[in-house]
Amino acid sequence: MPSYTVDVEVKSNGRAVTNGSDDSNGSIRLEKSTIGCGSANIVWHKCSVEKIDRQELLQQKGCVIWITGLSGSGKSTVACALTKALHARGKLTYVLDGDNVRHGLNLDLTFKAEDRAENIRRIGEVAKLFADAGLICIASAISPYRKDRDACRSMLPDGDFIEVFMDIPLCVCEARDPKGLYKLARVGKIKGFTGIDDPYEAPLNSEIVLQQEGEVCPPPEAMAEKVISYLEAKGYLQA
């Protein structure tokens, strides 16, 4: 994550002024104070209401369901089917869709490799907060690189990151091409498109793998039920 620099002037009355000041009386100037990750001047403030209390209130356990796969594999469709089915069971969920977060939280990011990594890191951090709040957070993002997915997994306690691999062949995803992106990538109008001229690193040990049955893809509701069965078996649908 990039660092940002600002000029800060700390006045004798304790006020801080950025971008300089003509009044140098009793002031100390800190040139290019760095604001970014790794600061030694921040301390975690613990609250008396913790994750276990929120889970008891909601009667569920917070976790992150991370749905990964190629564009067109059905990630968003399954995420919506899953949140609908869990909502019907009285469970509180929230979907972090890879496209949706780029409309706000990640509006400043491109599709360069370093920005893709930052995109996934931010989604992972937000998903972690939702899980800590006791929600079942469903993150739906291509997230093509194992190291980025593994980094998100490492943010959460063991078992609270549930990776769901949409193992749908490239030819099927490209035939669907719901956004017309594969067609643009094939003619060179989109560069670095996952599956075409940029790699997708399939998960090696996902908790759940959703696949076609022969040449037929199960309906999203059936795929969602498979995820729900896993959550039930692992005790996430009760406090």
* Catalytic residue set: 143
d(Cα 130, Cα 127) in Å, to the nearest integer? 5
Q: Where are the alpha helices (DSSP H) in 14-112?
A: 51-58, 75-88, 98-101
Q: What's the length of the chain?
A: 239
Calculate Rg over the CA atoms of the chain: 22
Task: Please give the DSSP secondary-structure letter assigned to residue 70.
Answer: -
Question: 231: which residues sit within 8 A by CB, 6+ positions away?
Answer: 63, 136, 162, 237
Cβ atoms of 70 and 182 closer than 8 Å: no
Give the integer Cα–Cα distance in Å for 169 and 72: 10
Measure the CA–CA gap between 36 and 205, rounded to whole angstroms.
Answer: 33
- In the 8-state DSSP scheme, what is residue 219? P
